[in-house]
Amino acid sequence: MADILVDSNVILDVVTEDREWFEWSAAQIERLAEDHMLVINPIIYAEVSIGFDRIEDLDAALPVEFFRREHLPWEAGFLAGKGFVKYRRLGGERRSPLPDFYIGAHAAVRGIPLLTRDAGRYKTYFPRLSLIAP
């Protein structure tokens, strides 16, 4: 069973029943879960947590039987830093690495696809990353 990293925006679309993206995101998760292991990391977990008041509710929305939780590989931290340097050189103004750099680097280091609806940044900074996106 192949792994797929699921970006927080896709999960948030489903748990918040986003009017624009719910159907696409829910359909992708359902389809991919049939023959893939869905994976999240601590950054995705943190981003999704903003929609919940209690950790128990968050854990119920992200059951470990459905979303395998992985630590970020050290190599992903290095690659995220390199992506961030490129971002700054291209005129990006933020002063600290954005979560998307860590998420993209995690998928890139593991060599697994990323399910996201925010393909632009990932394509720019991780051009060899396999994306599942609208």
pLDDT at position 67 is: 97
**Which of 70, 64, 65, 53 shows the shortest CA–CA distance to 112?**
70
Tens digits of per-residue pLDDT, 43-60? 999 999 998 999 999 999
pLDDT at position 94 is: 75
Q: Are 47 and 12 in contact (CB under 8 A)?
A: yes
**Angle at Cα 10 formed by Cα 9 and Cα 12, nearest 5°?**
65
Look at the pTM and tell me if it is higher than 0.85: yes
Burial 48-74 (b: 16+ CB within 10 A, else e): bbeeeeeeeebeebbeeeebeebebee
Q: In Å, how far are 18, 28, 80, 108, 120 from 98, measured between CA atoms?
A: 23, 25, 9, 16, 14
pLDDT at position 98 is: 83
pLDDT < 50 regions, the chain: none
pLDDT at position 93 is: 79
